[in-house]
Each structure stands twice: as structure tokens, then as C-alpha cells.
Structure 1
């Protein structure tokens, strides 16, 4: 058994010796030829490293011809040794010719050569000046706005098309999910909407009565409260509260599902995440926000009546009589028309930010904050656009 092992080991050693890297060098007429053979890998190149360095010291020729046709195997270490030889003679202005290389050898030599010849970093570069940084920040925000707009249009278009619970099928609307979201976003928000609207209505009436009392025009506080609440503040305050309450909840819910890869699981089982997650919430918001706006208008007017009675001695009956003269249907509908558009904006932005959440809790917090801030900002911009549009058409 020992003899057999020695014999096998001897045979293996001989076999490995046949595949060792070799270099045959010859010079003829100003051409230095190098023929490579064997296996040029990390384990074997050390055997020819000294010989390759001796070749690099040679001079007195104009062309270096390399023959790689007999190389059996090569990795990045072998390619680096050969490229080192090539680089040494390229610096001396020697013409290099390579023949017989395989496709793999060509790829390795090219990759190693690019890595070796890549210029090193020129040290630490200082930050650009404040103008460049400001322009860079503006450019990044513009691109982010473009990406958010495209994502919002994708979600909004898919929602308008239909629930699409199954991918490619525009049916299977789930009324239970819609009513559940209406209960959470609409009915659950009534107490805070009523409280905040009543306080705002009372503040507007109190401040208006205080200023108008200097001119003896206390009764016109009714016009101020009625027009301001019904056209602007009622729907705007409601939308802002819904953006902070329901918009953040939508982003947190979708974002947490994205973190736990539940959104990917919906795609795997053939369900459309927009149809399952976004559609019920968006429809519920579009229905709930106008209803909450009506409730907020009544609450704000109630607060205004109480404040006018306390500060200006305007009885509730006189307040209501004057309110009939000060407003008409256009005043009421001017505010209600905005509500569905604001609801779509809040739901769309919240869904987009939820879909952008990464795999960390920090990412979830950042996108929830971004959802609320963006929703409030866009809602205020939309309210201003509606105001200009109403003024243009004299509505």
C-alpha cells in the first residue's frame, strides 16, 4: 500500500509538472519572442515570477512578440504577470504583438490591463462651493419630483381604471375593504375635525368681531365667517388634518408591508398591490373628505356663532338670518368641489411614499414624514390654484 501511494504520488507530481507554467524566450532581428505554456494560475505563477522579471530587464529590441496559444489555463494572477511584462516594455516604447490567445485570455488581459492602468485617485477633493451645492440640490429635487410624479400618475391611472385585484383584470372590487377604510379615515376622524374646525371658526369670528367693532360693523363678522369657512378654511383645514392623520397612516401601513416583503408576496400570488392596497384607501378618501368637509363647515359655523354671540352680542337667529344673505350655493360648492381633488392628492402621495420605503425603520420614518409634508404642501398649492381659477371665472 505504501509503495502504491508513492507510485501514485510520483505519478501525480509528474502530471502536475507537465502543466507548470513555462516561458520560452528567443530573439531574432530585433524581435524578442516569448512563448508561454502550461497553467498560469494563482498557485503556479510564483514558479515563473523570477524568470518574467529577468525578461523585463532585457533591452536592445524593437518588438515584443507574445505567443499564448499553448496556455492551458489562466486566471487573473497569470494575466497580471503577463500584463506586467507588457506594461514594462510599453513604457520603453517597444511594440507589442500578442497572438494565439483564447477568448477567455483576451477578456482577462483586457480587464487586468484596465485595472492596472486606471489612474489612482488624486487625493481628497474638497467640497464644492455653496453655489454648486445649491444647484446640485435643486437638480436632485427636480429629478425626485419627476420620479414622484410618474409614480403618482401610475398609481392614479391604475386606480381610475379599476381595482384590478387580479393582474390584467379590471374587476373584483372589494366593497368591504372600502367601507372599512371609510370607517377608519372618515368616521374615526370626526371628533378631531369637529373640535379643530369649531376652534378655528370661533377664532376667526372673535378676531373679526374685535377688528370690525372699531368701525361699528360687527354684523359683517357673519359675512367674514361664512365666506371664509365655506370657501376656504373648512375644506383646507379638513384636508390638512386628514393628510396628517390618514395620509401618514396609509404610508406607514404600505411601508411596513413593503419592509416585510408582503407587497412582493402579493405580486407572487398574482394580485395587484395597487388594487389590493391603494384602491380601497383612495376611494375611501375621495368619499370621506367631502363628508368631513360638510361636518367641518357646520362645526366652524357653530364656533363662529358662539364667538359672535359672546363678543358682539349677535344672537344665533340674527347670525343665521345674515348668513342667508351673505352666502349662496356657489359659496358652499366652491369649497366642496376641492375636496375630492385634495383627497386624491393625499391618497396618491401617501401611497407613493409608502411604496418607496426601504428595508429599515429609518426609511419608514423618513417617508412618513415626507408624505405628510408633501401632502400638506400640494394641498395648499391646489387651494391657491382653485382660488385663482374661481376668480378668473367669477365663481
Structure 2
């Protein structure tokens, strides 16, 4: 039968404890220790059979009051007492006042650290994705063809309508605004140059990437985040299925393969929109518009579009999957990570687009 906790002093100032320092057996030990007025140098707990958090807290508080050492603990009891000591912190009822400059500086520092940690995690996730692709190349039978084809439809076919409408309107806006500005110089015909080169080289692929990030990147984050919360990802690992191979690779491959097609489709629809406005507003017939497009738009603009598109697609897919696989604890994280996936993907796409602009100018594709 478990013994009630008790203590006995000796002449050398050592206080020996015995019994069980647990909530069920601690009794009035706290009151007796509070009433004890003798000098204490050491608390000997070698006679304690069991100790829980309540007992550890009483011993810690008494040793702090008497400035006494604690001896006789086994490894588990010492670990528990250490945790109790670490938790014994003064809690301020009101946070300390921080000046405006220091607060802003602190927020900038926190944001910088979060950004660096996120980038580090994203790079690690990209490495894991590459490893998963390599594993599937060595073992093609593990590739999930049906899942990839289904993502083709979700990422590509289902997006044709909204991307086409957006691109058509953008082409009209570029042509209209360009014509208004060029009319001041009597150079309305150069509206065709503006529409052709701008849509095929930059805006077509960039706006497509932003739209895919908003549609597919957010969907990937929400889907994988929900699977993390419902422990489906853990269940897949338990039965020996790699989540990277089953969930991340099909989504990434689908976006990488569909982005060049969507970008070309977007650029073509934007050119059609610009051509219609040029026909209606500038009296440039479609045959003349097409002939002019062929003259002023070099084939390198198409190459630039097709090189950018798969890179943007990989960034979008990996960002969405990374944020989804990072969901922890509660459903609120799904919304937070979904938002982060879209913001992160769009930011990285724009950064890469700036890099590509400099790179292609350097290699002479201008």
C-alpha cells in the first residue's frame, strides 16, 4: 500500500523525505513544510517512491524558500523537477511597455526570421520532391498515373474558361490603353507591337501563373492540410505509402506539364482580344493585324514564354504542397496555410520573372 508523504530532519540540516509525493498521498505536507522553522541545507528525496507534478512543485518551492539543495532523485524524478523549475516563471499581468521604434524593429526581425525559416523549409521540401521524382524514375510501377491525369483536368481543363476570359480582357485593355497613348504621336499602328510582345513574352505567362496559384496552389494547400488534420497522411506512412510520391509528385507534375499549354493559350487569347479592339477602334483589319504580329513578334518571345511556364508551375505546386504538409494542430491552420501558399507562390513567381527578364536580356533574347 502506498505510504503518505512525510519528512524528518536530522542534526546536520538534512531533511529526509519518505513515502509518495503524489496528489493522492501528499496530505498536509505543504502546510507542515510551511510551518517548519528549522534550518535546512539539503532535501534528501532518496526515500521517495513516486512523485508527480504537485509533489515536485512543493519540493521546488520549499527548496527555493530555504535555499536548500535537492538530492537523491532518480533520472525521471530529476527530469520532472527540472520541468517544474523551468515553468516557475513570473507572469506579467500586463505586457511591458515597448516603444514604437523597438516594436516596429521587433516585428521586422520576427518577419525576417519567419521568412528565412519558411525559405529554408521550402528548399528542403523541394529537395524531397526531387528525391521522390528520382525514386519514381527508378521504380515506374509506383507512379500514380490516374491521379496525375485527374490533376491535369483540375489544373488545366477546368481553368480554360477563367484564364481565357481574363486573358481576353487583358488583351483588350492593353490595346485600348496603348492606342490612347500612341495616338498622341500618330503611331497607333504600334499598338500591335505592344499587344503581341507584351502578352506573349510577359503578361500571358505571368497572369496565368497568378491565376493557377490562386486556383490550384490554394486547392493543394487546403487538400493536403485537411488530410494532415484527419491523419490520412500519417495513415499512408503507416501502410508504407510515401505521401511525397502519392500526393506531391502527381500535383507537381500536372502543374509543370499544363503551365506551358495554359500560358500559350492565354497569350493567344490576349492577342485575339487586342486584335478585336484594334479592328473595332483603330480600323485595323484582322488580316493586317495577323501579318503585323508575324513581322514584329520574334520566335524567341514564344521560347521565353515556354521556358518560364514550367518553372512557374513547379514553384506554384511545391509552394502549395509545402504549406499544406506544414499544417499542424487545428483547422485554423488550413486557412492560414492556404493564404500563405497563394502569397508565397505569387511572390516567388514575380521574383523569378524579374530574374528571367534580366537573364534573357543578357543572353540576347530581347
TM normalised by structure 1 equals 0.77
Partner of 2:214: 244
Give the 5 Å matches for 1:112-151: 115=85, 120-121=90-91, 124-151=94-121
Tell me the residue number matched to 2:244.
274
1:312 aligns with 2:282: yes
Q: Is the 8 A contact 1:52 1:85 kept in 2?
A: no
Alpha-carbon offset, residue 266 of structure 1: 0.8
Aligned partners of 1:25, 1:335: CA distance in 2, in Å?
86
Alignment of 1:9-88 (within 5 A): 21=6, 23=8, 36=16, 39=19, 41=21, 43=25, 46=28, 53=35, 55-56=37-38, 71=47, 75=51, 77=55, 80=58, 84=62, 87-88=65-66
What CA distance in whole angstroms lies between the structure 1 residues aligned with 2:9 and 2:131? 74
Deviation at 1:34, TM superposition (A): 6.3
Q: Is the 8 A contact 1:164 1:170 kept in 2?
A: no
Is residue 162–residue 171 contact of structure 1 (8 Å, CA) maintained in 2?
A: no
Q: How many residues align?
A: 360
What's 2:271 paired with? 301
| 1:313 to 1:259, Cα distance in 2 relative to 1, 3 A | same
Give ranges in structure 2 of 5+ residues lacking alignment. Answer: none
Map of 1:161 onto structure 2: 131
Moved more, 291-300 or 211-220: 211-220
5+ long unaligned stretches in structure 1: 1-11, 27-31, 59-63, 91-95
Match of 2:291 in 1: 321
Find 1:231's aligned residue among 194, 201, 205: 201
Which among 185, 193, 201 is matched to residue 155 of structure 2? Answer: 185
Task: Give 1:190-205 correspondences, 5 Å limit.
Answer: 190-205=160-175
Are 2:254 and 1:284 aligned?
Answer: yes
2:352 aligned with 1:379 = no
The answer for the alignment partner of 2:311 in structure 1 is 341
Equivalent-residue separation in structure 2 for 1:254 and 1:278 (angstroms): 9
Structure index of larger Rg: 1
Task: Tell me if structure 1 keeps the 8 A contact 2:155–2:258.
Answer: yes
Distance of 1:300 and 1:273 partners within structure 2: 38
Structure 1 residues 311 and 122: alpha-carbon distance in aligned structure 2, compared to 1, 3 A threshold? closer
Name the CA distance, whole Å, in 2 between partners of 1:288 and 1:48: 70
Please tell me whether residue 211 in structure 1 is matched to residue 184 in structure 2: no
C-alpha spacing 1:307/1:148, structure 2 compared with 1 (3 Å): same
> Which residue does the alignment assign to 2:328?
358
Partner-residue secondary structure (3-state), 1:381: helix
Q: Is 1:162–1:170's contact at 8 Å kept on the other side of the alignment? A: no
Determine if contact 2:56/2:80 at 8 Å carries over to the other structure. no
Is contact 2:63–2:69 with CA below 8 Å preserved after alignment?
Answer: no
What is the Cα deviation at residue 371 of structure 1?
1.2
| Equivalent-residue separation in structure 2 for 1:253 and 1:67 (angstroms) | 55
Deviations 1:15-69 (A, max 9, x none): x8xx99574765xxxxx6667576475747748966994653x8xxxxx677959
What is the CA RMSD across the aligned residues, in angstroms?
3.8
Asked if residue 260 in structure 1 is aligned to residue 230 in structure 2, the reply is yes
